[in-house]
A and B are shown apart, each in its own frame.
Chain A
Amino acid sequence: EDQVTQSPEALRLQEGESSSLNCSYTVSGLRGLFWYRQDPGKGPEFLFTLYSAGEEKEKERLKATLTKKESFLHITAPKPEDSATYLCAVRTAYGGATNKLIFGTGTLLAVQP
């Protein structure tokens, strides 16, 4: 069964304290891995798409990387405004043309000033 697991469930950092969030997956043929940010009371906001092992993408203080088994979202020198829930999702070979995604349960990040 296709599965996406995110860890840790929650992470508390001090402002400026860099860290990484993990998304591990067991799927039948990965066709894309997606990272989203979700603020309380809002819909998920798209951050990155990664397609193949070794690929990296960056946006401000965030960098996403991908291996054959997992993805990491690295947060460098975080600020309080980076506090949010970060969601990971995968598209599998069996998602077909409908682009269906399987989501993890997210990591709740809190950055304290």
Chain B
Amino acid sequence: DAGITQSPRHKVTETGTPVTLRCHQTENHRYMYWYRQDPGHGLRLIHYSYGVKDTDKGEVSDGYSVSRSKTEDFLLTLESATSSQTSVYFCAISEASGSLNEQFFGPGTRLTVL
């Protein structure tokens, strides 16, 4: 299994509070991704990173920010959580640019915003 961990695995929070989810990899892969998974929508890309301090938006980035200060860590922050951000969040990693490499996924974080 790819060495990807996510923390926390479960979190319940209240509307308006900040939340940070962490993804940690031991594979030294360049690319890291944050997805959310909701019934009927499949996996949707929130943000991704193509190197330390290099990040860009995905298709559902509103209300989320990311940071990557080290190769192994990719943080997803909800500055002020809303109920619509209740979801399961997955981190993924991929090896290199310009080649058709698959993404490997972490175990997920289930976030509930009350």
Q: Which residues of A contact B (CB under 8 A)?
A: 31-32, 34, 36, 41-46, 49, 51, 87, 89, 91, 97-101, 103-106
Q: Which residues of B contact A (CB under 8 A)?
A: 4, 31, 33, 40-45, 48, 50, 56, 58, 90, 94, 97-98, 100-108
* A89 → B minimal CB distance (Å): 8
* B41 / chain A contacts, CB cutoff of 8 Å: 105
* A49 / chain B contacts, CB cutoff of 8 Å: 100, 102
Query: Can you list 18 pairs linking A and B with CB atoms under 8 Å apart?
Result: A41-B108, A42-B108, A43-B90, A43-B107, A44-B90, A45-B105, A46-B103, A46-B105, A49-B102, A89-B43, A91-B100, A97-B98, A99-B31, A99-B103, A100-B45, A100-B58, A101-B43, A105-B42
A98 and B31 contact, Cβ closer than 8 Å, known pairs A32-B100, A44-B43, A104-B42:
yes
Which single residue of chain B is at the shortest CB-CB distance from A45? B105
Most chain A CB within 10 A, of B31, B40, B45, B103, is at B103
Chain A binding surface SS class: mixed
Q: How far is the CA of A45 from the CA of B56 in the complex (A)?
A: 25
* B43 / chain A contacts, CB cutoff of 8 Å: 44, 87, 89, 101, 103
A43 touches B108 (CB 8 A): yes
B48 touches A46 (CB 8 A): no
